[in-house]
Amino acid sequence: MKLFKNSLVSVLFMLLLASTSLKAQVSSQQIDSIVNYAMTKFNVAGVAVAVVKDGKIIHNKGYGVKSIETNEPVNEHTQFAIASNSKAFVTAGLAILVEEGKINWLDKVKDHIPEFTMYNDYVEDNFNILDLVTHRSGLPLGMGDLMFFPDGTDFTMDDLLSSFQHFKSSSAFRTKWDYDNLLYIVAGELIARKSGMTWEAFTKTRILEPLGMDNTFSSLADIKDRSNLASSHSTETGEIRVIPTFKEMMNGAAGGIFSNVDDLCQWLLLHLNAGKYGENKEKELFTAVNHNEMWKIHTVMGVNKNPRYNSHFSGYGLGWFLSDVLGNMKVEHTGGLPGMLSQTILIPDMDLGLVILTNTSDDGGGLFSSVSQTILDIYFGLDDFKWIDKYSDYLKSRVSGGDAITGKVWETVENLKDTPIDTQKYIGLYKDSWFGTCEVFMKEDQLWLKFHRSPKLNGPLKLYEDETFAIKWEYQDMNADAFVTFTLDKNGKAESIKMKGISPNIDFSFDFHDLDLKRQD
């Protein structure tokens, strides 16, 4: 009887596994259908999607066009900026150096980069390599990103390393997650100093070449043949249009890699095999020990308790977001630059990985989120939740809500356009301790503001209310228009400037609110 019972349980278990396996298969044709439908709902020029399962590439394809100006189709080899998905390549690079004995995860940053500074002595003296890549510095979200966003600034690595002393913390050290790009650039600099080559060269020779990622580049400058490079697109001004490709400054560790879904399949398989690669997984880029370090929560985040997925935890590892979905570990990251968005997701318990690349900001996030969620739900055996429709509706609501707010601002500005302004009290030079000088001046009878170290940030100052002006930058690749508020001294002369974004949908990297501009003349 006991033998029969155990045999029955075994048979039932095998049937359950078979049933689950049948539910969990996603065909290439299904993915085609999902992506093609999503492209009817989102204003995206091109997209590429790849899925790996059980050690095999089951889907690897491009959709739409590389550029609306050429209408050349996207294929699996079309290169996109993967933006912040580059961060996991940084932590992989650090893991390689750890295994070579050149660094340890808990080494103090100052031991390797003596000129590195932080906002107080305790944090500076105790800041270790893990702190560089886990977003727990105590600094606010996106602090200092204006040093490289938008591109075209003239800040150097020396400027960056000395800038942190001027930043203001928003939480206690190692107590709260706040996304930080600049510290990843520092991590790239650390790799350069310990390896004896640039971060870009190290990434190419120690990661990309061993994996056979021959059409992946750690900087835009490295791409000599750009015939299959996707153009960046924006819908910020209404109609979709091509915009210049973003150029990383200092180094590309925060988001400088260009890749394609075919190459990124090798990256997915590497991680699903805990650092092993090759035809028979006989080679090892990094050990399972350090892979576990990357996929261990170092910074705890909030949990979105969605009953559909029964999630319990959420946190950040080393270059990866970590959570649980229906009892499965989920490892993921997204990336965003002007005109380019990307997403990588791994479900290691299911030996599943997917990557989605798009060449349009704005709607691209809705596309990659809804497509990936739809594909994952099929693998999880869940019902069709109409994610594409839901994300489309949400995005339209979000955009219209933001447009309503900004529309009222510019309506107010228009109504005040004939109001007399004593421009002389504002004209002058103003300086922020880390971002440098801005100039307020007259340009063809119009009050104007420009930042000396970020030439794309310049535009007319239009009265909004009292001593606050609205500025519409000449740079319109992204939503970045801002309020500029002057504080006057007792003589009625402007002595300082504070700024903040106008739209609630402004990207966090436009951290105008972190500036403290003081008059210099």
| Domain contains 178 | yes
pLDDT at residue 1, rounded to an integer? 37
Domain holding 103, by residue range, is 48-385
pLDDT exceeds 70 at position 113: yes
> Helix, strand, coil % (nearest 5) of the chain?
35, 25, 40
| Domain contains 453 | yes
Residues 381 and 419 in one domain: no
| CATH number of the domain residue 154 falls in | 3.40.710.10
| Domain contains 218 | yes
Whole-model pTM above 0.75? Answer: yes
**Distance (Å) of CA 236 to CA 55, 257, 335, 355, 390:** 40, 24, 18, 25, 21
pLDDT at residue 23, rounded to an integer? 47
For residue 430 the two structure tokens come to 């103003």
pLDDT exceeds 60 at position 22: no
pLDDT at residue 63, rounded to an integer? 98
Residues 204 and 317 in one domain: yes
Residues 204 and 318 in one domain: yes
d(Cα 447, Cα 426) in Å, to the nearest integer?
A: 9
| pLDDT (tens digit per residue) in 196-220 | 999 999 999 999 999 999 999 999 9
pLDDT exceeds 60 at position 7: no
The residue from 337, 369, 385 where one domain ends is 385
Residues 214 and 325 in one domain: yes
pLDDT at residue 312, rounded to an integer? 92
- 419: phi then psi, degrees, rounded to nearest 5: -70, 130
Which is it for the CA torsion 506, 251, 274, 276, positive or negative? Answer: positive
Q: What is the mean pLDDT of residues 327-334?
A: 97
Q: Can you spell out the DSSP letters for 457-473? A: -EEEEEEEETTEEEE--
Residues 274 and 331 in one domain: yes
pLDDT band at 95 (very low <50, low <70, confident <90, very high): very high
| Domain contains 12 | no
The residue from 338, 364, 385 where one domain ends is 385
Residues 453 and 356 in one domain: no
- Residues of the chain with pLDDT > 90: what percent? 91
| pLDDT (tens digit per residue) in 349-387 | 999 999 999 999 878 799 999 999 999 999 999 999 999
pLDDT band at 24 (very low <50, low <70, confident <90, very high): low
Residues 379 and 481 in one domain: no
pLDDT band at 272 (very low <50, low <70, confident <90, very high): very high
What is the tally of structural domains in the chain?
2
| Domain contains 104 | yes
Range name among 23-27, 72-76, 279-283 with the lowest pLDDT average: 23-27
| pLDDT (tens digit per residue) in 214-260 | 999 999 999 999 999 999 999 988 889 999 999 888 999 999 999 99
| CATH number of the domain residue 453 falls in | 2.40.128.50
Residues 367 and 491 in one domain: no
pLDDT exceeds 60 at position 118: yes
Residues 511 and 373 in one domain: no
Residues 376 and 504 in one domain: no
pLDDT at residue 505, rounded to an integer? 93
Residues 140 and 234 in one domain: yes
| pLDDT (tens digit per residue) in 334-344 | 999 999 999 99
pLDDT at residue 355, rounded to an integer? 98
d(Cα 232, Cα 66) in Å, to the nearest integer?
A: 8
Residues 509 and 377 in one domain: no
Q: Can you spell out the DSSP letters for 269-291? A: HHHHTTTEESTTS-EESS-HHHH
| Domain contains 400 | no
Q: What is the mean pLDDT of residues 88-110?
A: 98
Q: What is the mean pLDDT of residues 431-447?
A: 96
| Domain contains 264 | yes
| Domain contains 124 | yes
